[in-house]
Structures are given as C-alpha cells and as structure tokens.
Amino acid sequence: MNPDSNKKIIQTGSLPVGKFFGRGEHWLWLTGACLSVALIMIVGLLFVIVSNGAGFFWPKDLTEFTLKDGESTQKVMGILMAHDTLREEIPEGKGIRLIPETQFRVGNRDIYAADFVWYRDENISGIMKPKLGVALERMEYGNFYGFMESFKINDDVIATGGQAWERLLKELPLVNRKRKAAEAIKEHEIGEISHEIKEATIQLNKLKRNTHPTAEQVSKIEEYNQFMVAKNEEFQTLKDKAQKILDEADDYSGVFKTADGREKVIPLLNIVEAWQPNNMSVFEKCIFYVRQVWGFIFDDPRESNQEGGVFPAIFGTVVMTVLMSLAVTPFGVLAAFYLREYASQGPFVRAVRIAINNLAGVPSIVFGVFGLGFFVYFVGGTMDQLFFSDYLPTPTFGTGGILWASLTLALLTVPVVIVATEESIAAVPRGAREGSLALGASKFQTICRVVLPASVPGILTGIILSMARGAGEVAPLMITGVVKLAPELPVDLTFPFFHLDRKFMHLGFHIFDVGFQSPNVEASKPMVYTTTLLLILIIIGLNIVAIRLRDKIRKKYQTGAFA
C-alpha cells in the first residue's frame, strides 16, 4: 500500500470504502445495532406501560359528536381512546380501501351494550366538548357519561341544573362514607360473628356425633345452642344496622340524561365519583388524579376486578413476599456460610454449588408442581388430618394458601440468596478474617463479628433480589394458592390475626386474570396496564436498591482489600 494513503487515513480519520469493509468496521456498528435493538425493546416496553398505565386516571375530556348511522343521526358522548385504520375490501375484487376510525369509550354499559366502540371517522361530525358533561364512576355497569338534570331525595326534586350538581358534590362524600360504614360492619363485625357461628357449629356437630353423650356433653350442647341463638340474634341486629345506614343513604339520587336524550336515575349509593372533566382546571384535574390513584391503591376491586382498586392484591403480594423472605433468609444464609466457611472445598462442594446455581435455572412451574404435591397435598393434607380433622372434608391447609405459596417461592429464590451471600462472604478480605483468628477468636466468633457484619449488605442485596423475583413470579403461585378474588385478607384483626391457610390475591396474577380471563378484555385493559405499572415500579424499585447496594459493597472492598 502506498504510504500516502495511510497518511491520508491518519489525517482525516476516515478509511477508504475497501479498507473500511476489509477491516470489518461496519461490523462494529452492526453489533451496536444489536445492542440498540435490545435497548429500544426495554425502553419501548417501559414506555408502553407508562404511557398506557399512568394516563388512566387523568380526567380526560368528554367529547360529544353527531354520529351518522345509516339514515338516522344520533348524539354520542364519550372519551376519545384511539385512532386506527380499518381495511375494507371493495366489492368485485377492486382491492382494499383504508377507512380511518376512532375508538370512544362511551360508557353507560347498562344502556348501550358495549362501552368501548369504534366509529368510522366519516360518520362523525360536529365534534364539541360540552362544559357540563358529567362523568360518573359507578359501583356497577362501569362509567356513566351524560348530563345532570336534577337532584332528588325520595322522588322529590330538590334541585335542578347547576344547583343539582352542587348538591350532588356536597352529598356524595356523605353517602360514600355511609356506604363504607355499612361495608365495614358487614366485613368485620358480621364476618367475625359468622366465623364464631361456624366454629360453634363444628363443635356442636362433633358433640352430637356421640350416640350416648355424657351429662357433661349434654350440658355443653345446650350451652352451644344458647350461644348460637345469641350470636344469631347479634348477627341479625348488625345486619339491620348496616341495612338502616344504607336505607338512609338510598334516599338520594340524581337524574341524568345521556347524550342521545335518555333519562337515567342513578342513586347516589351507586356513584363512587362524579366529575365534569371539561369544566375542571389543570389543578383540579391533578387533585382528582391523585385521589384516583389513592383509590386505586387502597380500594377493593369491583366488577370482577375490572374496576376499583387493587389493595388486596398489593397486600397479598407484600405479605407473601415478606413471608417468603422470612423463610428464605435463614436457610439461604446458613447454606452459604456452610459452603464458604465450613465445608471442605472439594469436588463435592463444587458439585453442590453447580447444583444450587442450576436450581435458579429450573423452571418456576416445576417448583409450583413440587409445592402443590409436597406442601399442599402432602404436608397440608397430613396437617389437616392431625389438627383440623373437625373441619374435614373442607380442607384447611390441604389446599393452596399463602403459607404454601410463600414456601414454594422461598425454594425458588433460595439460590439467589445463597449466591449473593457467598459472593459477599468471599469479598471479605482474608486479612480481616485471619486477623480475628490470630487474636484468638473462635471460628464462630470470627464469623459473627467480622464476616457477617461485612457481608450484611451483600445478604441484603440477595434478599432484595429474591423479593423482586418472588414478587414478579406468577406461575408457581397459580397452583399453590393465588385466587382472582379473595374474600378475606391473609392478615386481619380477627384472632389469630395471621391466617396462613387463606388464599390470597397477587398483583402478577391480577394482571393475568384481568387481562386474559375477564369477559370484557377491552374494558379491562386500562386496569391491567395500571396494575402492570404498579408491579414493575415495585420490582424495578427493589432492583435498583439492590444494584446500588451491590455497587457500594464492591467499591468498598475493592479499596478495602489493599488497605
């Protein structure tokens, strides 16, 4: 090659095309493109979730328009959701034409059949945003969109027009409070009593099974009978009390009109939230948004999980994860210390280490199968026969529950803790350990006072990573105790407070269930996106903490080793 060209390359920094390909410079960029695809995928995924999930609670404007439907026209009001193009075949094989269409959430599921509807843009005209358009979040039938006509107490019209709206906003919180009070009575007090009645019935049945009861038993039966009567009375009183509260609240109702002029009387008891999106300032919208998010996090689900909040799912996920880490930490740490400090390093320990590493690669569903067969049917079934035989054939521990699910996940995540702990033990400088031993400390003292404190951050990293893994795992839970709707939380105020036999709800399963097993997939999508957002926020948060922690330790010991 002539030296001039080389000189030129050095001066300009650019290679001639032949040399460029010869040296494989283009491959550098091609490998970069591979990385960029991976990066785009992850960012794109997060973007899709955030953009779909975060906007759900923002009070979007109501759009009213005239819809041409054949000859007739009709007013429709709803929230604009999406645009798309429809492909329609032109008759006689003249190809295909594209028809732009728009999706609206028109709500009013009790009046129209579907609440998410696609309309062809060519049929839409006269788009406007009515200031007084009302959106209602209801207990049943999803949202209502329309206009407020009047406010009624017992069939008497109290206020109309703007005043009616004012009155509605004033009364709604009161009614909601009453509904919550009634629900609280039903849930806690009545629940407790029915639990007591159930227990008493079981005891009673047990006593009655004796064909020749002793005098003591007879008196006990009598005692139980009286107890039952008293409890049943109490049950009735509470029920009446709750009903009375509801009856009082039931007097209030609002009269509404849909965009196409149909009148609808909606009792305030059925309304969760009322707002006029087109009439709200940005600040009001922000407050509304925060309130909605709050409700999403702290409310119970409604309408087969498609609406309302996800509190039981969050709660279930947290309790399950905590139980899991309680189970996994001691064993994981013990195993790691054994492998690193006690076992004599040889082919056996190498094999064990490989096995543990590989356990992390065993499919989670296999752990689920093990959990179902071993914990639920074998251990749980045996426990039922030994301690809960009174309740049989209804299983207590012999069916999926939060305890079994947590233990299954603990098995699944034990390699994570072992590997992280081992790594952090290994990072403790030899010098520190030898110093301690040289000063006469025993092995255990060295471990307790030197190695363990130094490796705590590493252990924590392992636990956090295992929690993140556990919180996101669904498949093994599906078969060991997760349900779509758990009537009771696994931890509550009823004795013995921790109900480890109960089934529970889980955010990950909630996503699967609402997204794939609900009757109205379209209507449940926003809910799924929002739940997904919540779940990945939790998981990414946990991971970031773990990564930070790990980096910190690494830095610390990188310098510490030479100190």
Partner 1 sequence: MSTIAPETKFKKFVIIDPKVTRRVKIIDKLANFIIKSGGILVILVVALIFLFIGKETIPLWLPGTAEPLVKTEIKQFAAPHTPLIMGVDEYQTFAYFVEGESAQVDFYDLQKGQMINAQPFTKLAGKQISCAYRTPAFDYLFLGTSDGHVLLAKVSFTPDLSTGSRIVTPTLKEYGMITIPGTKAPIQKVFGRVSSEGEMVYAAVTAEQKVYFGKMTLDAVELMEQNQGLLEGEAASTDRESQSGAAPSATAVDYAFDGKINQIAIDRFSEKLFVVTDKNILYQFYLENDLTQPYATYDSFVNESGVNRKITAMEFLIGDVTVVFGFNDGTTEGWFGVRAKEGDWMRKIQPIHKFESIGGSITTIVPSARNKAFIAGSDNGHVALNFSTSDRRLLDLEISGPVALAAYAPKLTQILALSGTGSFESFDIHVPYPEISLKTLFGKVWYEGYDKPEFSWQSSGGTDDFEPKFSLTPLFVGTLKGAFYGLLFAIPIAVFGALYTSQFMHPSIKTYVKPTIEIMAALPSVVIGFLAGLWLAPLLENKLVMIFLFSIFIPVGTVIAALLWNKIPIKIKMNIPPGVDLVAIIVTTLIAAFLSYKVGVFMDFAYFGGDIRQWIFSAIGEQVEQRNCIVIGLAMGFAVIPIIFTISEDAFSNVPKSFTSASYAMGASPWQTATRVILPTASPGVFSAVMIGFGRAVGETMIVLMATGNTPIMSFSPFNGMRTLSANIAVEIPEAPVGETHYRVLFVAAMLLFILTFTVNTFAEVIRQRLREKYKAV
Q: Identify residues 79-98 at the interface with partner 1 (CB under 8 A).
A: 87, 95-96
Report the site for partner 1 in 360-379 (rule: CB under 8 A): 361-370, 372-374, 377
Report the site for partner 1 in 457-486 (rule: CB under 8 A): 468-469, 471-475, 478-479
Cβ atoms of 307 and 142 within 8 Å: the answer is yes
Question: For residues 391 and 396, what is the distance between their CA atoms, to the nearest angstrom?
Answer: 7
Report the site for partner 1 in 163-182 (rule: CB under 8 A): none
Question: For residues 197 and 272, what is the distance between their CA atoms, to the nearest angstrom?
Answer: 33
Q: Does 382 bind partner 1 (CB under 8 A)?
A: no
Q: Does 509 bind partner 1 (CB under 8 A)?
A: yes
**Which one of the spans 55-63, 106-114, 179-187, 534-542 is the region binding partner 1 (CB under 8 A)?**
534-542
- Written as one letter, the residue type at 383 is M
Cβ atoms of 516 and 531 within 8 Å: the answer is no
Which CB, 96 or 127, lies closer to partner 1?
96
DSSP string, 133-191: -EEEEESSSS-EEEEEEEEEETTEEEEEHHHHHHHHHHHHHHHHHHHHHHHHIIIIIIH
DSSP string, 47-73: HHHHHHHHGGGS-PPPEEEEEEETTEE
Which CB, 389 or 445, lies closer to partner 1?
445
Q: Does 13 bind partner 1 (CB under 8 A)?
A: yes
Q: Does 294 bind partner 1 (CB under 8 A)?
A: no
Quote the least distance from Cβ 354 to partner 1, whole Å: 5
Q: Within 10 A of 497 (CB to CB), how many other CB atoms are there?
A: 9
Among 440, 497, 562, 563, binds partner 1 (CB under 8 A): 440
Among the listed residues 104, 100, 105, 106, the one whose alpha carbon sits nearest the alpha carbon of residue 84:
100
Among 359, 383, 432, 452, binds partner 1 (CB under 8 A): 359
Which CB, 269 or 314, lies closer to partner 1?
314
**Which one of the spans 116-124, 138-146, 250-258, 443-451 is the region binding partner 1 (CB under 8 A)?**
443-451
**Which one of the spans 24-32, 115-123, 169-177, 287-295 is the region binding partner 1 (CB under 8 A)?**
24-32
Q: How far is CA 525 from CA 251, 467, 530, 547, in A?
A: 35, 27, 9, 32
Question: What are the residues facing 105 on neighbouring strands?
Answer: 79, 116
Quote the least distance from Cβ 241 to partner 1, whole Å: 39
Which CB, 72 or 559, lies closer to partner 1?
559
Q: Does 511 bind partner 1 (CB under 8 A)?
A: yes
Among 114, 354, 537, 561, binds partner 1 (CB under 8 A): 354
Which CB, 246 or 535, lies closer to partner 1?
535
Sign of CA dihedral 13, 16, 21, 23: negative
Quote the least distance from Cβ 363 to partner 1, whole Å: 2
Quote the least distance from Cβ 446 to partner 1, whole Å: 10
Quote the least distance from Cβ 217 to partner 1, whole Å: 20
Which CB, 224 or 529, lies closer to partner 1?
529
Question: For residues 505 and 482, what is the distance between their CA atoms, to the nearest angstrom?
Answer: 6
Question: For residues 146 and 401, what is the distance between their CA atoms, to the nearest angstrom?
Answer: 45
Which CB, 5 or 357, lies closer to partner 1?
357
3-state class of 362 per DSSP? coil
Based on its alpha-carbon atoms, the radius of gyration of the chain, rounded to whole angstroms, reads: 32
CA dihedral defined by 446, 449, 455, 459, rounded to 10 degrees? 110
Quote the least distance from Cβ 412 to partner 1, whole Å: 10
442: DSSP letter: -
Question: For residues 443 and 452, what is the distance between their CA atoms, to the nearest angstrom?
Answer: 12
Q: Cα 331 to chain center, whole Å?
A: 28
- Give the count of alpha carbons within 13 A of 125, CB side only: 6
> In sequence order, what are the residues at sequence separation of 6 or more whose Cβ sits closer than 8 angstroms to the Cβ of residue 130?
62, 64, 77, 147, 278
Report the site for partner 1 in 320-339 (rule: CB under 8 A): 330-332, 334-335, 337-339
Question: For residues 246 and 236, what is the distance between their CA atoms, to the nearest angstrom?
Answer: 15
**Which one of the spans 384-392, 497-505, 524-532, 552-560 is the region binding partner 1 (CB under 8 A)?**
524-532
Cβ atoms of 180 and 249 within 8 Å: the answer is no
Cβ atoms of 127 and 64 within 8 Å: the answer is yes
Question: What are the residues facing 17 on neighbouring strands?
Answer: none
**Which one of the spans 180-188, 273-281, 318-326, 437-445 is the region binding partner 1 (CB under 8 A)?**
437-445
Quote the least distance from Cβ 309 to partner 1, whole Å: 19
Residue 525 host element (H or E): helix 521-560
Q: Does 453 bind partner 1 (CB under 8 A)?
A: no
Quote the least distance from Cβ 21 to partner 1, whole Å: 9
Report the site for partner 1 in 384-423 (rule: CB under 8 A): 411, 414, 418
Q: How many residues bind partner 1 (CB under 8 A)?
A: 102
Report the site for partner 1 in 28-57 (rule: CB under 8 A): 28-42, 45, 48-49
Question: What are the residues facing 73 on neighbouring strands?
Answer: 68
Among 532, 549, 553, 557, binds partner 1 (CB under 8 A): 532
Question: For residues 159 and 165, what is the distance between their CA atoms, to the nearest angstrom?
Answer: 8
Which CB, 39 or 561, lies closer to partner 1?
39
Quote the least distance from Cβ 392 to partner 1, whole Å: 15
**Which one of the spans 116-124, 243-251, 435-443, 497-505 is the region binding partner 1 (CB under 8 A)?**
435-443
Q: Tokens 């097993």 — which residue?
A: 517
Among the listed residues 544, 475, 485, 537, the one whose alpha carbon sits nearest the alpha carbon of residue 510:
485
Q: Does 433 bind partner 1 (CB under 8 A)?
A: no
**Phi/psi zone of residue 152: left (φ > 0), alpha (ψ -120 to 50 degrees), beta?**
beta
Quote the least distance from Cβ 162 to partner 1, whole Å: 42
Q: Does 72 bind partner 1 (CB under 8 A)?
A: no
Quote the least distance from Cβ 63 to partner 1, whole Å: 24
**Which one of the spans 59-67, 100-108, 133-141, 532-540 is the region binding partner 1 (CB under 8 A)?**
532-540
